[in-house]
Structure 1
Amino acid sequence: MSVDPRKPRAFRLDDPRVVLADTPAAGTAARGHVVVTPEPEIFDEEPAPIVPRPRRSRWGTLFWSAVGGLVSLAIGLSVTKLIDDLFSYADWLGWVGAVLAGVAVLAFLVIALREIGGLMRLSRIEHLHDRAVTATARDDRDAARSLARDLVRLYAANPRMARARANVEAAAGEIVDGADLIRVAERELMGPLDAEARRIIADAAKRVSLVTAVSPRALVDMFFVGAETLRVIRRLATLYGGRPGGLGMLRLLRHALGNLAVTGGMAAGDSILSQALGHGLASRISAKLGEGVLNGILLARLGLAAMLATRPLPFDVLPRPGVTDVAGGLIVRDRARPAETRQAPASEP
């Protein structure tokens, strides 16, 4: 509350000469009256983060839609003409062609439904991740409880996580802070899954390192590394509840490569090149074995990036694994040479 600042004075609120005004401009009263204006209340509210909207080209969308429509019409007309030609040769050939076309359409519809389901599951995982980040930042109890229920439903079909689900459900009714509830859910639900994910990545890195070290052709190495990368991404997505299809795999691969680029590639964070090639390792092993070690480390980094893309919760309580956690056996460090630190014996007279 503010009073006329010309000189201090004391007054009673029930005095008839006291006049309340909503705004300072409205505080005009007769001479001898006291005008009291309320001060505006200012709250230090954190502004909502501005999320940039993805920029999409409408002309690009229109172009690819038109191209897709033309390709579909061309395929349909080609199949129709083929069936007509088969009927012109013999009726039974026409019926065989029609049945095969019907089976192909049915299989295409089933595949399309599976791909749509896989993309929806991946979108659900990404939505859970975004909700967890927002609820932790705002310490929202209701949002955290809703997220915990969705996570329990996500892993309801996994019998090995029955105890973890029970612990999360019990914590949802006892913990008041939303951020603490999300941390409990991460510790209980993501802990065993992270351990299994690290095992999957470590096994794949060892296989790639061994195969590329003994493979005689670089083309074989390239195909094996690519196939093993897709296999690891699919296993990680299935482990965390994604179960992607073909389009989902491409989407996850793009996210994994994006995460790998953000983290700085192979040489960022863990100094992989200095660990693998430094300390005299290149002088001890053959070039082929060194190539196998680098391929294994590269796959380990791709697997860790895919782990970030498929995990429904961000790393908060649990430590984020590094390359040395999943491919530590591939990185060899030389021990310090004792001859370098040993002093030369004194010469005898």
Structure 2
Amino acid sequence: MSERSYRRPATFKLDDAKVVVTDASEQGHPARGTIHVTPEDDAPQLPVAIEPTILPAERRFRWGTLFWGAVGGLVLLGAGLGVAHLIEDLFARSDSLGFLGLALTLVATLSLLVIAAREAICLMRLSTIEELHRRAAAVIVSDDRNESRNVLRDLLKIAHANPHLARARATLTHHSGDIIDGADMIRLAERELMSPLDQEARMLISAAAQRVSLVTAISPRALFDVAFVFAASLRLIRQLALLYGGRPGTLGMIKLIRHVLAHLAITGGMAASDSVIQQILGHGLTAKLSQRLGEGFLNGLLTARLGLAAIDLTRPLPFTALPRPSLTDLAKDLLRQRDGEK
């Protein structure tokens, strides 16, 4: 193997007369006072991993949607005819009763339109957060600088309603014009905006898990346990959605619950919870806890796992620069609560 002599780092201008570009095959010694630059061969290009193309789902005619739409239309027609007959009967009895019924009908219709508009806005906001999460994950892979600025702009619009993120918004606005790669810009946005939200989300999940653990440990009825766990889970999912910028209404909560359960089924969340429980409770801890305390701890841990799944669905940015909340840490919080109660 031939030995090459390496020079010390130096600065020079390429248009200087003393700089001479030579080929690697040329022999001879450089003249005194000149700088010889020998271009090196380009490194062989390595194969680049390409993400598999996700084909769009085939659009098919949905008979279920048509059926429920037709049923909903019939119900609305029946309700409208019933109200119309009621108002006619009221006018037949008395004009004052008829006008009162007509006024109540108008108020109810206006309220229904406002509720429907709010539900539509909430669903659109949740869809925007989901789309923002998908776009940010794509920028992490593609390192697209222009798209990262678009993602940052949409993210700042969502975070504008949170006064606690004012300093983070100012920092990101200041760096939005800097020369930063697309993936690095997403990571910077995650560190600035998501870090305080992730800490608060962990406190919310830990508090909900501790409440579920305590109440189910002292509850005398299993039916009450189920009702309390369900109510606590709904409240936790709503709190996390509001924390990360979503404002779910009734339909939005139904959508979130369905997605959270689907996420748990896909990621094997319950199996992961069981493995953590076995690791924590397997070191002689089961003998120290009574049966009711053990059941309460299990319910609290499953509530925490539900909260972690809700974070994955309501967080507008994927976990890249910040660590993902761990179920083990939340389980340690529950164990410290158990020790405090003793």
TM range (shorter): 0.7 to 0.9
The whole-number CA distance in structure 1 between the counterparts of 2:49 and 2:221 is 62
Residue 283 (1) aligns with residue 287 (2): yes
Residue 71 (1) aligns with residue 80 (2): no
1:132 corresponds to: 136
The whole-number CA distance in structure 2 between the counterparts of 1:45 and 1:304 is 30
Deviation of 1:227 (Å): 1.0
TM-score, scaled to structure 2: 0.79
2:313 corresponds to: 309
The aligned amino acid for 1:211 is V
Residue 190 (1) aligns with residue 180 (2): no
CA deviations on 1:244-269 (whole Å, 9 max, x unpaired) are 11100111111111221122132316
Q: Which has the higher contact order (CA 8 A, sep 6+)?
A: 2
Tell me which of 269, 276, 287 is aligned to 1:272: 276
The whole-number CA distance in structure 2 between the counterparts of 1:44 and 1:324 is 36
The whole-number CA distance in structure 2 between the counterparts of 1:268 and 1:98 is 57
The whole-number CA distance in structure 2 between the counterparts of 1:182 and 1:54 is 32
SS at match of 1:308: helix
The whole-number CA distance in structure 2 between the counterparts of 1:54 and 1:288 is 50
Deviation of 1:191 (Å): 0.6
The aligned amino acid for 2:254 is L
Deviation of 1:93 (Å): 2.4
Give the RMSD, CA atoms, in angstroms: 2.1
2:261 corresponds to: 257
The whole-number CA distance in structure 1 between the counterparts of 2:280 and 2:218 is 18
Provide structure 2 residue ranges, at least 5 long, that are not aligned to the other structure.
1-46, 337-342
Deviation of 1:326 (Å): 2.7
Provide structure 1 residue ranges, at least 5 long, that are not aligned to the other structure.
1-42, 333-349
CA contact (8 A) 1:270 1:323 kept: no
Deviation of 1:158 (Å): 2.0
CA deviations on 1:193-234 (whole Å, 9 max, x unpaired) are 100111111111111111111111111111111111111111
Deviation of 1:46 (Å): 4.6
Tell me which of 205, 209, 212 is aligned to 1:205: 209
Tell me which of 114, 118, 122 is aligned to 1:118: 122
The whole-number CA distance in structure 2 between the counterparts of 1:119 and 1:186 is 24
CA contact (8 A) 2:206 2:304 kept: yes
Residue 141 (1) aligns with residue 151 (2): no
CA contact (8 A) 1:125 1:310 kept: yes
Deviation of 1:171 (Å): 2.5
The whole-number CA distance in structure 2 between the counterparts of 1:325 and 1:171 is 34
CA contact (8 A) 1:129 1:314 kept: yes
Deviation of 1:55 (Å): 5.1
SS at match of 1:80: helix
CA contact (8 A) 1:270 1:322 kept: no
CA deviations on 1:15-59 (whole Å, 9 max, x unpaired) are xxxxxxxxxxxxxxxxxxxxxxxxxxxx98957722332655422
Deviation of 1:304 (Å): 0.5
SS at match of 1:282: coil
The whole-number CA distance in structure 1 between the counterparts of 2:257 and 2:58 is 20
CA 1:47–1:279: 2 relative to 1, 3 Å? closer
The whole-number CA distance in structure 2 between the counterparts of 1:288 and 1:276 is 17
The whole-number CA distance in structure 2 between the counterparts of 1:279 and 1:177 is 47
The whole-number CA distance in structure 2 between the counterparts of 1:167 and 1:310 is 23
2:169 corresponds to: 165
The answer to which of 235-244 and 280-289 deviates more is 280-289
CA contact (8 A) 1:275 1:331 kept: no
SS at match of 1:173: coil
Deviation of 1:124 (Å): 0.7
2:220 corresponds to: 216
CA deviations on 1:68-104 (whole Å, 9 max, x unpaired) are 1111111111111222222333332222222222111
Q: Percent identity?
A: 59
CA contact (8 A) 2:139 2:182 kept: yes
2:22 corresponds to: none
Give the structure with higher Rg (CA): 1
The whole-number CA distance in structure 2 between the counterparts of 1:50 and 1:169 is 33
CA 1:160–1:54: 2 relative to 1, 3 Å? farther
